[in-house]
């Protein structure tokens, strides 16, 4: 049984139809959140080509995320970053057996419709692409395909869940090869979860209401989340993960799994690194195994990375006030 906190019940994205003589429902919260649960303890890898998707699948990725450019190249190229070419997404869908995800711009309802019609397994409404709506995210309850959203803190995470996100990931600072921001974000979420839980456990309703106002989230969702003591959806780490030890470190902070963006395919030992990050994520509790994984990669081949303090573009701030 999985938590269904925040479920609005009769969402537009739910489709009732018959399979033979049997009545079925698609797009329910159990199916959307359940899909994310199947990814737990796994690694989702950013890919731009069929070849990269194949390397990812062979290395043991639980899913691939198709982009037009890796986040590090988006950062370098500047300009407007949009959803990937549908033809490439379809080629990858036809050649891999693991789930295929793709990104749409924040608030861009029609890029999401196109991805939904393409049949990708999950849509990432992502700050890596240039936001299309400064004030609203997509109302994700209208879709049959599940969504994942980025968050830097508990308020953002719960607001995205309230809009229908079936999975959350930390934003980190994409395309930097630097995990520092992802670490801050996961710790923010954990600290705030402990805070609402302690208020809930103390039975202080008045204080919980003011916390809900502070987080800009409905009281009901805050209360249910506080009673669970964790987010009601699966929560992955993302942004700047480059090495097996990075992945293992984030798992120790209580993440359910890992997204790797530029870290693998911007390195010069992508194949070994892909396998090594998977190993370290699976066996993160065993330092000897993580050491073995770390030994599979060569630090001289890692992407150079950026200091996150002096960036012109901070992708993580996109969509954070909405």
Partner 1 sequence: MTGLNIGVLAVQGDVMENLSATRLAMDDLGVEGVVTEVKSPDQISELDGLVIPGGESTVIGTLSLVNGSLKKIKEKIASGMPVLGTCAGMILLSKKAKDRIVGDMEQPLLDYLDIRIERNAFGRQKDSFEADISLEKIGIPKFRGVFIRAPSVSEAGRDVEILSKIDGKIVAVKQGNIVGTSFHPELTSDLSVHKYFITMAQKGKR
Helix boundaries (H) for the chain: 29-37, 50-59, 71-77, 86-95, 109-118, 154-162, 180-201, 205-215, 219-228, 244-252, 262-265, 270-282, 287-295
Burial of residue 117, with CB atoms counted within 10 A of its CB: 0-12 exposed, 13-18 middle, 19 or more buried:
exposed
**Of 7, 68, 111, 116, which lies in the binding site for partner 1, with binding defined by CB under 8 A?**
116
Q: Give me the sign of the Cα torsion angle 12, 28, 278, 237.
A: positive
CA–CA separation, 29 and 48 (whole Å): 30
User: Site residues for partner 1, window 137-166 (CB under 8 A)?
Assistant: 144-146
CA atoms within 13 A on the CB side of 157: 25
- Closer to partner 1 by CB, 31 or 322: give it: 31
- Nearest to partner 1 of 37, 69 (CB atom): 37
Does position 288 bind partner 1 by CB under 8 A? Answer: no
Q: Which is nearer to partner 1, 99 or 177 (CB)?
A: 99
**Cβ atoms 106, 88 nearer than 8 A:** no
Which CB sits closer to partner 1, 5 or 302?
A: 5
* Main-chain dihedrals φ then ψ at residue 80, nearest 5 degrees: -100, 130
Active site residue 103: yes
Rule CB under 8 A: is residue 99 a binding residue for partner 1? yes
Q: Which stretch binds partner 1 (CB under 8 A): 24-32, 125-133, 195-203, 241-249?
A: 24-32
Identified binder of partner 1 from the candidate list 50, 98, 311, 322, rule CB under 8 A? 98
Say if residues 264 and 273 touch (Cβ distance below 8 Å). Answer: yes
**With contact defined as beta carbons under 8 Å apart, do 14 and 28 qualify?**
yes
Nearest distance in Å: CB 249, partner 1: 19
Rounded Cα gap, residues 148 and 121, in angstroms: 11
Q: Which is nearer to partner 1, 35 or 265 (CB)?
A: 35
Residue 26 is a binding residue for partner 1 (CB under 8 A): yes
CB of 202 to partner 1, least distance (A): 26
Q: Does 35 bind partner 1 (CB under 8 A)?
A: yes
Of the residues 32, 103, 171, 266, only one is catalytic, namely: 103
* CA–CA distance, 84 with 61 (Å, rounded to integer): 20
Nearest distance from C-beta of residue 300 to partner 1, angstroms: 26
User: Toward partner 1, which CB reaches closer, 221 or 293?
Assistant: 293
Determine if 22 is a binding residue for partner 1 (CB under 8 A). yes
**Which one of 83, 225, 282, 294 is in contact with partner 1 (CB under 8 A)?**
282
Distance (Å, whole) CA 50 – CA 31: 27
Task: Determine which residue in the list 55, 81, 122, 238 makes contact with partner 1, applying CB under 8 A.
Answer: 122
Residues designated catalytic: 103
What residue ranges bind partner 1 (CB under 8 A)? 1-2, 19-20, 22-28, 30-31, 34-35, 37-42, 57, 60-63, 93-99, 116, 119-122, 144-146, 278-279, 282-283
């Amino acid at each position: 049984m999985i938590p269904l906190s925040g479920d609005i019940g009769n969402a537009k994205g739910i489709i009732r139809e018959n399979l033979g003589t049997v009545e079925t429902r698609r797009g329910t919260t159990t199916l959307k959140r359940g899909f994310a649960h199947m990814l737990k303890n796994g690694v989702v890898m950013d890919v731009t080509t069929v070849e990269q998707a194949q390397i990812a699948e062979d290395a043991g990725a639980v899913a691939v995320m198709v982009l037009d450019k890796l986040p590090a190249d988006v950062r370098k190229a500047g300009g407007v970053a949009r959803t990937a070419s549908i033809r490439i997404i379809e080629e990858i869908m036809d050649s891999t057996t693991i789930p295929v995800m793709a990104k749409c711009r924040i608030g861009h309802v029609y890029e999401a419709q196109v991805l939904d019609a393409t049949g990708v397994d999950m849509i990432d409404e992502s700050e890596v692409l240039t936001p299309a709506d400064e004030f609203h995210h997509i109302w994700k309850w209208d879709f049959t395909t599940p969504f994942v959203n980025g968050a830097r803190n508990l308020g953002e995470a719960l607001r995205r869940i309230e809009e229908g996100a079936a999975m959350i990931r930390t934003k980190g600072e994409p395309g930097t090869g630097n995990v520092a921001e992802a670490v801050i974000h996961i710790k923010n979420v954990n600290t705030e979860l402990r805070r609402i839980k302690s208020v809930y456990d103390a039975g202080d309703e008045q204080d919980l209401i003011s916390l809900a106002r502070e987080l800009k989230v409905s009281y009901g969702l805050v209360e249910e989340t506080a009673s669970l003591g964790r987010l009601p959806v699966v929560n992955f780490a993302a942004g700047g993960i480059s090495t097996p030890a990075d992945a293992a470190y984030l798992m120790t902070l209580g993440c359910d799994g890992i997204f790797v963006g530029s870290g693998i395919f911007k390195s010069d030992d992508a194949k070994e690194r892909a396998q090594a990050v998977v190993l370290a994520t699976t066996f993160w509790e065993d330092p000897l195994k993580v050491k073995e994984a770390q030994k599979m990669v060569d630090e001289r081949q890692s992407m150079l990375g950026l200091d996150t303090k002096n960036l012109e573009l901070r992708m993580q701030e996109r969509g954070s006030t909405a």
